[in-house]
Structure formats: C-alpha cells, structure tokens
Structure 1
C-alpha cells in the first residue's frame, strides 16, 4: 500500500503492510428471493501496533439462506464496495430500507 513502510516491524514481528483480519459492524437484509445480503467493514492487522487503525474496506456478500451445501457456500465471495486510502479508515455502516415501490426483488446494492 502506498505510504506504508515495507518489510517487517521488528517490535511487533508483523509485516508493515495491512491485511484483513476479520469483519466488524455487520448489517444485513433478508431479500425476497430467499437470499441474505450482508455488509461489513473489515478489521485489519499490521506491523504498526495499532490493530484496526489501518485502511480497511466496506464489503458485501450474498448468501442463500436455505442452502446447506458447503461446496456452494465455499464459492461465495465478498465484493469490495469501498476501500479506505492511506491515513483513512472506515468506521461502521448502516442500512436504510429502500422504499421504492418498483423495487420488488431488492437485488441491487
């Protein structure tokens, strides 16, 4: 990432470059097609020693609620909706239901 040192921080033993470590601030919606849409901000880790303070992302994923097929679930992937830049961090997200009467399937993000 531009602006970050390269290599490993000798004090923490971690690479300077931030990496995704988990998800925070999940919001979700049950869609009319039986799928669930989830939004979250990523949690990060790096060698800077201030876990969670590095640039992160707002991500989304859709899942079929009734599915119990682990093979199909393993094919699902997150979509990055926004990435924070150097010196910036995304804090949370919120969901406001769409009140558009023409939007019957709620498939857009």
Structure 2
C-alpha cells in the first residue's frame, strides 16, 4: 500500500518579511540568505496565483494537498507530525497523542482558498 502525503507550508506575507529580515540581523540565520529572498516579497501575488493553480491541478483523491499555516512554527511542526503519524499504521500507536488541530492541518479546497483560510 502506498500513501501520498503532500503538505503545503503556508506563510503570511508579513511573517515571511519578518523572517527574511531576521536573516540579515541574526548571525545564526545568515546562512539561509538567498538571492531569491528579495524576489519572494516582490513577486508575492504571482507566486500566490501559481500556488493556487498548482493546488487546483494537482489535488487528487489519492494524493490530496494538506495546507499548514506556518506563522507559528512550533505549532505547525507538531501538528504535521501528528497528522502524518495518525495516517500510518505502526506498532504501539497511541491515537490520543496524535490528535492534530484541523485548523492547522487541513485539506486543500476551493472553499478554503475563497474564504481566505489560505494566505492570499
């Protein structure tokens, strides 16, 4: 049996800007600096449009997209792990420890896009 997991780690424009600025001021983050950093904010609308098209064209019943707002990194990471582990079978699985927040990991839908659940 094969299971596909596709997670889109969504970030708000404001949070992305804050993180990109931190790369220039925090010595521990400077290794992350890329020539693409500047373009990320400049081309926000174009990238968002391309992302939306990608969702529509590549979201399938057998391989759905899961959207994860990542402005809160720790919360996002924990919920992705819980989501992933809740979907696979393994010995000693404790369902009570794998309850993830449906507002943090949720399936892509046109409704989520239209209602602003996915960052514009």
> Which category of TM-score, normalised to the shorter sequence, fits these structures?
under 0.3
Which protein, 1 or 2, shows the higher relative CO under an 8 Å CA cutoff with sep ≥ 6? Answer: 2
- TM-score normalised according to structure 1 size: 0.26
Of Structure 1 and Structure 2, the greater strand share is in: 1
**Which structure shows the bigger proportion of residues in helix conformation?**
2
TM-score (structure 2 length as normaliser): 0.24
